[in-house]
Amino acid sequence: MPLGRWVLEESIRQARAWRVRHGGQDAGPLRINVNLSPCQLSHPGLVQDTVDILERAGVTPDALCLEVTESALIGADDDLLKPLRRLAEMGVDIALDDFGTGYSNLANLRRLPVSVLKLDRSFTQGMQQFPADPVDLKIVEGIVTLAHSLDLAVTVEGVETGAQAEQLRVLGCDTAQGWYYARPGPPERLHDLALADAKG
């Protein structure tokens, strides 16, 4: 079994386990994000494999977000985008990962079937202290405004301090990830973190 398919299968299986543990389909907006490699992106069976894995696990498409790097989509033709469009139409979220590192034309955002921009950590490193670098703030604010005007959510990578988290919240970022929230860990640890967060 190719590694990419195994990762997708295991991730969706884990998402199902968390949903069951948290009370089934009514457990809230639990979503699992999985990176797609350029090789997977061009694989002819991507859509059917994803559908089969979701159906076998009993997980709805809206519980899955597939992340594709900006560099993988620079200059992508319609043949490459067609599978992503089909997945998006089914309800799978598509995230444009490492946004801002690939030097793509912003006009391309209109033709990409993405619902989430994942802002690269390089934009937020100047926000680790308070006050933040004003140029970094303006750049992030502009990207958030642009994304929201296109009905895209914004996730920020690499958040390491409370100062960063607060400034990104003020700028209107929808979600964030990084060591400030949690280090990578086993599923049980993430379950414990989710319970702690739910209890406040």
Asked if the structure places residue 56 within a domain, the reply is yes
**What are the Cα distances from residue 153, in Å, to 36, 172, 186?**
19, 10, 27
Which pLDDT score, from 0 to 100, does residue 102 have?
67
Which pLDDT score, from 0 to 100, does residue 184 have?
83
Ranking 108-112, 125-129, 179-183 by mean pLDDT, the lowest is 125-129
| pLDDT digit string, tens, across residues 116-128 | 999 988 888 877 7
pLDDT level of residue 197 (50, 70, 90 thresholds): low
Q: Averaged over 36-53, what is the pLDDT? A: 93
Q: What is the extent of the structural domain holding 48?
A: 1-98+105-114
- Widest pairwise Cα distance in the chain: 49
Examine residue 83 and say whether the peptide bond preceding it is cis (omega within 30 degrees of 0): no
| Size of the chain, expressed as the number of residues it contains | 200
Asked if the structure places residue 71 within a domain, the reply is yes
Nearest Cα to Cα of residue 142 among 134, 38, 86: 134
Which pLDDT score, from 0 to 100, does residue 170 have?
93
Which pLDDT score, from 0 to 100, does residue 193 have?
64
When comparing pLDDT for 85 and 76, which is higher? Answer: 85
The reply to whether the predicted model has a pTM over 0.85 is yes
Nearest Cα to Cα of residue 89 among 40, 146, 50: 50
Domain of residue 91, CATH code = 3.20.20.450
Decide: 148 and 172 in contact? Cβ < 8 Å. yes
Share of residues in the chain with pLDDT > 70 (%): 88
Backbone dihedral region for residue 67 (phi beyond 0: left; psi -120 to 50: alpha; all else: beta): beta
Nearest Cα to Cα of residue 132 among 156, 149, 111: 156
Q: In whole angstroms, what is the distance from residue 155 CA to residue 30 CA? A: 15
Asked if the structure places residue 20 within a domain, the reply is yes
In one-letter notation, the amino acid at residue 133 is D
Asked if the structure places residue 121 within a domain, the reply is no
pLDDT level of residue 191 (50, 70, 90 thresholds): low
Decide: 88 and 66 in contact? Cβ < 8 Å. no
Asked if the structure places residue 73 within a domain, the reply is yes
Q: Averaged over 152-157, what is the pLDDT? A: 95
pLDDT level of residue 192 (50, 70, 90 thresholds): low
When comparing pLDDT for 30 and 87, which is higher? Answer: 87
Asked if the structure places residue 135 within a domain, the reply is no
Q: In whole angstroms, what is the distance from residue 63 CA to residue 109 CA? A: 23
Which pLDDT score, from 0 to 100, does residue 142 have?
93
The answer on pLDDT for 198 being more than 50 is no
Asked if the structure places residue 199 within a domain, the reply is no
Mean pLDDT of the chain: 86
Asked if the structure places residue 28 within a domain, the reply is yes
Number of domains in the chain: 1
| pLDDT digit string, tens, across residues 90-99 | 999 999 998 8
Q: Residue 153's beta-bridge partner residues?
A: 116
